Amino acid sequence: SHHFSPRLRAHSSTTREMMYHAHATRVMSCARASTSARTGSAATTKATRTALARQRFASRAPRASNGDSDAASARVANDDEQDILKRYEDVARASPAAFGGACATFLLLNRALSGVAPVADASSAQSRADVICLAMSACLVLTGLTWVALKTKPPTKVTLVGAELTTPYFAADASTDLRRELAWAWDAANAATNCDGMAIIAADGTRIMQAGIAASSLNNPRSLAEPVPLGPICARARAESSGNYLANLKLFPGRVEFEPFFPINAQAVCVSPIGTSAVLVTCSRVQRGFTPNDQRWFAVLAQKLDNALDAARVD
């Protein structure tokens, strides 16, 4: 036993060393694996975030860069739909009557060919259903006939009889900045709406600006320099700080107060107060030529002009 004990002890020590090295190797490999896994997970997460960021940027960039084209495309599509409805307006109006008549015809043919007694029987479910369907068909026919008989009259559009000002008239004491602001207001209103004439009159009757088609008596600069007294409609709008819209001007007796600066056959007039110091008056050759959006836009334009007039007074 004493002869083999050193060998056994050496063998056991060698075995323990081998087991220790194997365990250390496994621990190091596990550590490397976990480190690589964390590194790979972090890299994957970073790559995913980068890809999502690029995707968001790519999805936003076209909308930001092509916003105008998208809006233009939407307007074109809307115009195309309106053109189709206008082109086939009579067909669309008569379609309920045609559908109701066809349904009534098929209903009567079905009752005649199905062998049911021609006299309606209240105890029969088919008879009750036929009566209800016939009433609905009659409603469709009456609706179609009403739509055909009642058609919306297109707004009247005339040629304004007056003096066309090739360049806007400005008051003699208007500064360069104020003239630039007033010219911009006229160009914007003329291009964006059915505005054919614009006048800005101060509370004391001074004509600050006149542009577009004016009254026939304003064909020379001297007449443009003469003061214009404000009528009751403009005075009330200035005093109450609320606009007024005359969609069909010929129906209002107060239209005579606009004759000193607008054509006599102007179809619509919109009055917007410029603070308490002046009024912005626009006219159109089309009845109901200004939409609610146009009226709100004129109110915003009047506020901008109020700031410009205040700045001109300070200067």
Of 65, 96, 113, which residue constitutes the final position of a domain?
65
CB 270 within 8 A of CB 169: no
For residue 157, what pLDDT is reported? 85
94 contacts 102 by C-beta, under 8 angstroms: no
21 and 123 share a domain? no
pLDDT, position 63: 39
Whether 127 and 108 have beta carbons less than 8 Å apart is answered as no
Q: What is the pLDDT of residue 233?
A: 93
Examine residue 102 and state whether it is found in any structural domain, yes or no: yes
Residue 139 and residue 226 in one domain? no
Domain hosting 303: range is: 163-314
pLDDT at 151: 77
Domain end call among 10, 34, 65: 65
In a domain, 9, yes or no: yes
Rounded average pLDDT per 10-residue block, the chain, 315 residues: 45 55 55 49 47 41 42 51 72 88 88 70 74 89 88 82 91 91 94 93 92 88 86 91 91 90 93 92 93 92 91 71
Based on the fold, state whether residues 303 and 189 are members of the same structural domain: yes
pLDDT of residue 15: 54
Looking at the structure, do residues 138 and 201 belong to the same domain, yes or no? no
Residue 203 is assigned to a structural domain of this protein: yes
pLDDT of residue 7: 46
> Considering the domain boundaries, does residue 72 fall inside one?
no
Q: Answer yes or no: is 154 within a domain.
A: no
Q: Give the pLDDT of residue 127.
A: 78
Residues 18 and 109 in one domain: no
pLDDT reported for residue 30: 53
> What's the total number of domains in the chain?
3
Q: Do 142 and 173 lie in a common domain?
A: no
Q: What's the pTM value of the predicted model, to 2 decimals? A: 0.57
Same structural domain, 110 and 203: no
Q: Are residues 191 and 287 in the same domain?
A: yes
**Judgement on whether residues 196 and 256 belong to the same structural domain of the protein:** yes
Has residue 70 been placed in a domain?
A: no
